Amino acid sequence: MATYGSLPLKQQIEFFRDKLNLPTKSYTDIQGAAHDQAFVVAGALKADLLNDLRGAVDRVVADGIGFEAFKKDFRSIAAKHGWAYNGGSNWRAQVIYETNLNQSYNAGREAQMADPELRARRPYGMYKHYASPNERPEHVAWDGLIIPLDDPWWDSHSPANGWGCKCKKFMYSDRDVERRGLKVVKPPPEEFEDRVIGKRSGNPQTVRVPKGIDPGFAYTPGKSTLGKLAERGLGSIGGLPPASGASAAAAMVSRPAVRKALATEFGSWIDTVLATDRPGNVSFNVGSLSAEIVESLAARNVIPESAAITIRDREVQHVFRETKTTTKAGLPKQPSLRDFKQLPNLLTRPRAVLLVTGTSTLIYVFDPESASGRSAGRIVVEVNYSLKTSDGRRGTNSIRTVTLANTADLTKDVRAGSLELLEGRL
C-alpha cells in the first residue's frame, strides 16, 4: 500500500479505483477537478493501452511499488502496444508516477479531513511547503500559513499545486495553535495570470490561474462530481475516431454509478434550461453512438464524424413548449419530464434503433414510463449535424426532438421500408 509518511490510506486507493478510463489526445483535454474522476494519460487513445497503464499505476497506489519498477512496467506496456508517446521514457514515466501517486494521496487525505467530527475538532489548515526540483516562490511564501479550512482560498490552493509540487496541508485545532504560539490568519490576496498551455499538442489554450499554481492544479483533490466528469468525458470523445469514441463511451457508461450520476447531472441541467426564458445555444453531452451503430451506418455509407450525442437547450425548450400535446389518435405527444431526464440511460439501453431510410437520421425507441402500452418514445438523432460553437462549426450527432408515437405505426413504417431496424425490436 502506497504511503506518504507513515499513514496508509484506504481512501487513496478507493479514490484511484473509482476513476473512469478516458482516452485523450493531449493533457489539455481534461483539466482541473475533472482529474478527480478520470484516469488519463496524454496520447493514450486505445482502451487496451489505457487499461494496462491503469493497472501499472494501481500497483503504485495500492501495492507501493517504487518508481524503478513502474518505469519497467511503463516501457513494457508502451512496447507491447507500439505506443509512440511524446517525450523521453524516464520523463513520461515519472510524470505519470508522481502525478497519480501525489494526487490520489492528497484526495485520500482530503476525504479524511472532510469528516465532520474531525473537522469540528481541527477546523484549521496549515500550508506546508516542501522543497522540490521546480521551486515556486509563492509556495515558499505560503509555508506555515494557518487558515480556516472552510475558507474559499483552499478551493484553489490545496496541494498539490503544480507539477512536482510536494507541498502538504495539515489540520490544526485551537489547542494546537495556542500551544505552538501560532496565529490563524486571513489568506493572502489572490493574483491571477494568463498562461498558455498545449503549445506542443497543436491545441494551444489560454487559461487564467492563481499566480503560483500550475494550470490544471487550481482545485481541491477529490471534490469534483462524477456526473460533470461523465458529461465532459462524453464531450471529449467527439475528438476521437467514431469507433474509438464509441468504445470509450461504452466502457464509461457500463458502470451503473456513472449512468446514475450522468442522469442526475442532466436532470439538473434540464431544470435550469426550462427555468430560462431564452435559450443560449448551450449543449449537453448526453450519450454516444454504440460501436454496432457506427458499423451499421458505415455499411450504409453514413460515416459519423464522431460518436458523441448532444442536445441543445433550444431543443429541450421546444419539446416542452409545444402547444399541441396530443396526437390525432389522442395519445400524449410529449414524453413526461421524468422520462426526458432519463435520456442518458435511454440512449444507452434503447428498445430499438431505427434509421430513416436514405437519410442520416436515427430514431432511438424507448418504453415511456407513464404512457399507454400502445406508445413508444422516439429520440430523433441527426448524425453529423452541423453545430455552431464559439470557435466555428463542428459535426455532432444532435438530438432534434423527443416525442411519443404509436408503436404500430413504427412497425408499419419498418414493413413499408421507410424505416430500417438497425438493432433491437419493436
The pLDDT of residue 202: 61
The ranges assigned to domains in the chain are: 3-224, 227-424
Say yes or no to pLDDT of 20 above 50.
Answer: yes
Cell of 240: 476521437
The pLDDT of residue 71: 94
The pLDDT of residue 217: 84
pLDDT band, residue 69 (cuts 50/70/90): very high
The pLDDT of residue 215: 85
When comparing pLDDT for 44 and 371, which is higher?
Answer: 44
Mean pLDDT of 357-382: 85
The pLDDT of residue 290: 92
Distance of alpha carbon 343 from alpha carbon 398, whole angstroms: 13
Pick from 87-96, 278-287, 301-310, 315-324: least confident: 315-324
Pick from 30-34, 71-75, 116-120, 238-242: least confident: 30-34
The pLDDT of residue 243: 85
For 153-189, the pLDDT digits (tens) are 998 899 988 888 889 999 999 999 999 999 999 999 9
Mean pLDDT of 201-219: 80
Mean pLDDT of 30-36: 65
Mean pLDDT of 293-322: 89
Say yes or no to pLDDT of 199 above 90.
Answer: no
When comparing pLDDT for 115 and 380, which is higher?
Answer: 380
Average per-residue pLDDT for the chain: 84
Say yes or no to pLDDT of 322 above 70.
Answer: no
Say yes or no to pLDDT of 3 above 50.
Answer: no
Say yes or no to pLDDT of 148 above 80.
Answer: yes
Say yes or no to pLDDT of 63 above 60.
Answer: yes
Distance of alpha carbon 13 from alpha carbon 8, whole angstroms: 10
pLDDT band, residue 392 (cuts 50/70/90): low
Distance of alpha carbon 337 from alpha carbon 25, whole angstroms: 37
Pick from 53-62, 164-173, 202-211, 391-400: least confident: 391-400
Say yes or no to pLDDT of 33 above 70.
Answer: no
Say yes or no to pLDDT of 5 above 50.
Answer: no
Say yes or no to pLDDT of 300 above 80.
Answer: yes
Residue type, 103: Q
The pLDDT of residue 8: 43
The pLDDT of residue 329: 53
State the pTM of this model. Answer: 0.58
